[in-house]
Amino acid sequence: MKTYSSRTEVPINEKWNLADIYFEQSKWEEDYQVIEKMAGKLKASDGGIQDGHTLYQYLKLNEELSFRFSKVYAYAMLKVDEDTRDTSAQVFLDRAKLLSVKVSSATSFFMPYLLSLEKETLKGYISEEQGLAYFEEDLWESFRYKEHVLSKEQEEILSQLGEALSVPTHTFGMMNNADIKFGEVTDESGERVELTRGMYSKLIEDEDRDKRREAYKAYYKPYVQLKNSIASTLSAAIKNNVTLSRIRHYPSVLEKALFGDKVPKEVYENLIQTTKNNIGPLHQYTKIRKEKLKLDELRQYDMSVPLVSGVKPVIPYEEAFEIMCKALSPLGEDYIEILKEFKDRSYIDVRETPGKRSGAYNLGIYGVHPYILLNHRDDLDSLFTLVHECGHGVHSRLSSDHQPQITARYSIFVAEVASTVNEVLLINYLLNNEKDTAIRKHLINHFIDQFKGTFFTQVMFAEFEKKTHEMADKGLPLNVEVFNQTYEALFREYNGDEIVFDNEVKYGWSRIPHFYRPFYVYKYATGFASAIHLATQILDGDQETLHSYLEFLKSGSSDYPLELLKKTGVDLTTPDSIENSLKRFGKLVEEFSKI
Catalytic machinery residues = 389
User: Nearest to residue 400, comparing CAs of 16, 74, 41?
Assistant: 74
- ∠404-409-412 over CA atoms, to 5°? 155
Residues 77 and 365 sit within 8 Å (Cβ to Cβ): no
Helices (H), 83-118: 87-107, 110-116
Length of the chain: 595
DSSP string, 366-428: TTS-EEEEEEE-SSHHHHHHHHHHHHHHHHHHHHHHHS-GGG-SPPGGGHHHHHHHHHHHHHH
Backbone angles phi, psi at 270, to 5 degrees: -65, -40
What's 264's DSSP letter? -
Which residues have CB under 8 Å from 233's CB, separation 6+? 168, 169, 171, 172, 175
End-to-end CA distance of the chain: 30
Return the number of other C-beta atoms located less than 10 Å from residue 400's C-beta. 21
Which residue type occupies 296?
Answer: D
Tell how strand 370-376 and strand 348-351 pair up: parallel
What's 477's DSSP letter? -
User: Nearest to residue 530, comparing CAs of 436, 364, 378, 411?
Assistant: 411
Dihedral sign, CA of 582, 586, 591, 592? positive
Residues 588 and 451 sit within 8 Å (Cβ to Cβ): yes
Map residue 353 onto helix, strand or coil. coil
Residue 310 backbone class (left: φ over 0; alpha: ψ -120 to 50; beta: rest): left
How many alpha carbons fall within 13 Å on the CB side of residue 243?
Answer: 10
What is the 3 state secondary structure string of 538-561?
A: HHCCCHHHHHHHHHHHCCCCCCCH
Residues 309 and 205 sit within 8 Å (Cβ to Cβ): no
Which residues have CB under 8 Å from 404's CB, separation 6+? 134
Cite the beta strand spans of 247-347 per DSSP E: none
Residues 69 and 32 sit within 8 Å (Cβ to Cβ): no
Backbone angles phi, psi at 363, to 5 degrees: -125, 110
